[in-house]
Amino acid sequence: MSSATTPIVRATQVEQHFGPVHALGPVDLRIERGEFVSIVGPSGCGKSTLLEIVGALQDPASGTVEIDGAPVDGPRRRTAIVFQESATLPWRTVLDNVAFALEVRGIGRKERRDKARELVQIVGLAGFEDHYPAQLSGGMRQRVAMARAMSTEPDLILADEPFGALDEQTRMLMAEELLRVVDTIGCGVLFITHSIQEAVLLSDRVLVMGRRPGTFIDEVPIDLPRPRSHVALSEQSATEAQERIWAQIRSEAEVAMRSER
Amino acid sequence: MTARSVVPAYVRPTPARVAGMPARGWTLVLLVVMVASLELYARSGAVSRLDLIPVSEMATRSIELLGDRDFVVDALLRSALLICVSFVASALVGVGVAYAMSRYRWIHRAMKPYVNVFYALPIFALYPVMVVMFGTGMVPIILLATLFSVVIVIANSLVGFESTPPIVTKLARSLEMTPSQQLRKILLPSALPDILAGLKLGLGYAIIAVLATEFILATTGLGQVVNRAYNNFNTVDMYAGIVFVSVFALLANLTLSAALSSFDWRRR
């Protein structure tokens, strides 16, 4: 049963195949409650596959996933997923996009709109409630998706390169924003990214995934005080962590590139 | 001689005025010139009144028709009813079939070839079959018109349903939406602009089909008014009917287009 010591995510010997392609694993993954864990790795290594298995968007070929002590058998109410492309609905206003998850769960109009208005404030979109996604920038659309993810009061957020399509400056700002939000609601996060900097800035722990079939080749704890901002990246432990992760990924990526040629 | 612009034509903005007049003005001029020359030609005596009458007479007579109770009830209202029924039927069936095709692979496989080749079929050639099976009442007209307009609705709606971004589908799955929620809150709104485009064309097709079918197999209706006048050498009524039908179809299309466009989130 779930208790304060049950990890929010425990995946054991998870593997995935797509036809003849051995895409992932076997991997073990453990995330504590309120812990922020990032996975970095070369493209095509199976990071997103693992995330989708944890989020029950795919079934693993073998292995088990437990969330909050219960085996995963379908999408879970308190797991929120933030996708890479902004999954906003272009026919809905910002407010109605943020309220969407609550609407699907049958929350009354007044209640969900009040909640959404609050969240729009938190992600810094006040004044844009009645705008449509097409009128927003990429960063603002991703804020909408973040607010929607938060609306269901998740205890676990799965983020699949949520800032991947944004420019460097916006990325950094959004990362700080996410830190603030996660600190506020205190949920566990599984965060997939290409950016080592981003991983180090955000995480309690960074897992480095090797080339396909993805397995974890290193685990780097990040001991930076919280709350953090981009300033933390220039501390010595942060730069050391970045060096260590980059060295691993570099050799993996080089082998992967050579074998694909 | 005016100096030639060094800016290539394809990057120059479209001029708002052409030869001192807005483009819309020229559209009007074109219409006036055509109507006026028809009027003059008909009045010049160069053509028999059996072949052509002045446009002014066509217009006057078609307005008179509106005061004729028999015309309004038996022809105009009846045809309008047939068009409405065929249009609504093809809208419902078309969107329904397209949804089924996008949801179930086997329906898609089974139906797609028919949707693709349907345009090539001369649907009106079926009319003798319709008369044999259903007589000359309203049913065969509704069937033919629905059959004729449903395909364009299916084709457009299918494009709409299939262009739902995969990321939005993933979102729907992660939120555990039921199939009915997915249809109402994701698929229909996402496909709406394409469905509306299909419906606009569908109305045009339904009007064409109803009028044409009335022409060949009905005993009354707008199409039949024109046909009867034509067979009886009643040139005035024939042209009046043609003008009336054209204006009627144009207004119906414009009204529906405007109404449907207000739902289109891509135009906001």
Nearest residue of A to residue B179, measured between CA atoms? A104
Alpha carbon separation from A147 to A85, B27, B209, B254 (Å, rounded): 15, 50, 51, 41
Per the CB < 8 Å rule, is B167 touching A57? no
Tokens 């010139």: give the residue: B33
Query: How large a percentage of chain B has pLDDT more than 70?
Result: 98
Distance CA(B153)–CA(B141), nearest Å, equals: 18
- Closest partner residue to B175 (CB to CB) among A92, A104, A132 is A104
Q: Is the pLDDT of residue B153 over 90?
A: yes
Distance CA(B223)–CA(B63), nearest Å, equals: 17
Query: How confident is the model over B98-143, as pLDDT tens digits?
Result: 999 998 999 999 988 888 887 777 877 888 888 888 887 888 889 9
DSSP label of A213: S
Q: Which residues pair with A11 in a beta bridge?
A: A29, A65
User: Would you call A108 an interface residue with chain B, using a CB distance cutoff of 8 Å?
Assistant: no
Mean of the per-residue pLDDT values of chain B: 87
Contacts of A132 in chain B (CB under 8 A): 265, 268
Q: Is the pLDDT of residue A261 over 60?
A: no
Contacts of B181 in chain A (CB under 8 A): 104
Helices (H) and strands (E) in chain A, counts: 8, 10
φ, ψ of residue A40 to 5 degrees: the values are -120, 155
User: Would you call A159 an interface residue with chain B, using a CB distance cutoff of 8 Å?
Assistant: no
- Residue A43: count of CB within 10 angstroms of its CB: 11
What pLDDT is attached to residue B175? 86
* Pairing mode, strands A62-67 and A36-40: unpaired
Distance CA(B224)–CA(A3), nearest Å, equals: 80
> CA A203: distance to chain centroid?
11
Q: Which residues pair with A209 in a beta bridge?
A: A216
Nearest residue of A to residue B171, measured between CA atoms? A87
Nearest residue of A to residue B189, measured between CA atoms? A91
* Pairing mode, strands A21-31 and A36-40: unpaired
Mutation for A interface: B167, B168, B171, most A CBs within 10 A: B171
- Closest partner residue to B171 (CB to CB) among A56, A87, A103 is A87
Query: How large a percentage of chain B has pLDDT more than 90?
Result: 32
Distance CA(A242)–CA(A245), nearest Å, equals: 5
Distance CA(B79)–CA(B138), nearest Å, equals: 10
What pLDDT is attached to residue B1? 47
User: Would you call B139 an interface residue with chain A, using a CB distance cutoff of 8 Å?
Assistant: no
Query: How confident is the model over A122-144, as pLDDT tens digits?
Result: 888 888 889 998 888 888 888 88
CA nearest B37: which of B52, B22, B18, B51? B52
Tokens 């079934």: give the residue: A59
Per the CB < 8 Å rule, is A83 touching B171? yes
Task: Tell me the H-state helices in chain A.
Answer: 47-54, 94-98, 100-104, 109-122, 138-151, 168-185, 196-202, 236-260
User: Would you call A135 an interface residue with chain B, using a CB distance cutoff of 8 Å?
Assistant: no
Query: How large a percentage of chain A has pLDDT more than 70?
Result: 96
Q: Is the pLDDT of residue A43 over 70?
A: yes
Residues ≥6 apart with Cβ < 8 Å to B182: B172
What pLDDT is attached to residue A237? 81
CA nearest A174: which of A196, A153, A151, A202? A202
CA nearest A219: which of A45, A46, A53, A30? A30
What pLDDT is attached to residue A151? 86
Nearest residue of A to residue B265, measured between CA atoms? A91
φ, ψ of residue B39 to 5 degrees: the values are -60, -50
User: Would you call A109 an interface residue with chain B, using a CB distance cutoff of 8 Å?
Assistant: no
User: Would you call A87 an interface residue with chain B, using a CB distance cutoff of 8 Å?
Assistant: yes
Tell me the pLDDT band of B220, cut-offs 50, 70 and 90.
confident
Per the CB < 8 Å rule, is B175 touching A75? yes
Q: What is the largest CA-CA distance in chain B?
A: 76
Contacts of B169 in chain A (CB under 8 A): none
Tokens 């010049």: give the residue: B44
CA nearest A195: which of A212, A215, A213, A178? A178
In chain B, the domains with their CATH numbers are 58-118+125-267 (1.10.3720.10)
- Residue A104: count of CB within 10 angstroms of its CB: 20
Distance CA(A149)–CA(B191), nearest Å, equals: 24
Burial (0-12, 13-18, 19+ Cβ within 10 Å), B256: middle
Q: How far is A187 from chain B (nearest CA, A)?
A: 18
Query: How confident is the model over B227-268, as pLDDT tens digits?
Result: 888 888 888 888 888 888 899 899 999 999 888 888 888 877
Per the CB < 8 Å rule, is B174 touching A132? no
Q: Is the pLDDT of residue A63 over 70?
A: yes
Q: Is the pLDDT of residue B3 over 70?
A: no
Q: What share of chain B is helix, strand, coil (3-state, %, to 5)?
A: 80, 0, 20
What pLDDT is attached to residue B87? 95
End-to-end Cα distance, chain B: 44
Query: How confident is the model over A152-193, as pLDDT tens digits?
Result: 888 888 988 888 777 788 788 888 888 887 877 788 899 998
Tokens 């066509």: give the residue: B58
Query: How confident is the model over A211-246, as pLDDT tens digits?
Result: 777 788 888 888 877 777 778 778 888 888 888 888
Provide the angle, in degrees to the nearest 10, between the axes of the packed helices A138-151 and A109-122. Answer: 130
Mean of the per-residue pLDDT values of chain A: 83
Q: Is the pLDDT of residue B2 over 60?
A: no
Per the CB < 8 Å rule, is A87 touching B170? yes
Note whether A158 and A51 are within 8 A (CB).
yes
**In the structure encoding, which two tokens stand for residue B35, read together?**
């109507």
User: Would you call B182 an interface residue with chain A, using a CB distance cutoff of 8 Å?
Assistant: no
Alpha carbon separation from A26 to A31, A61, A209, A212, B195 (Å, rounded): 17, 10, 12, 11, 46
Distance CA(A9)–CA(A29), nearest Å, equals: 7
φ, ψ of residue A231 to 5 degrees: the values are -60, -35
Strand, helix or coil for residue A16: strand
Q: Is the pLDDT of residue A77 over 90?
A: no
**In the structure encoding, which two tokens stand for residue A231, read together?**
């300033």
Per the CB < 8 Å rule, is A101 touching B173? no
User: Would you call A106 an interface residue with chain B, using a CB distance cutoff of 8 Å?
Assistant: no
What pLDDT is attached to residue B12? 75
Mean pLDDT value across residues B158-186? 88
Tokens 């007589």: give the residue: B135
What pLDDT is attached to residue A260? 62
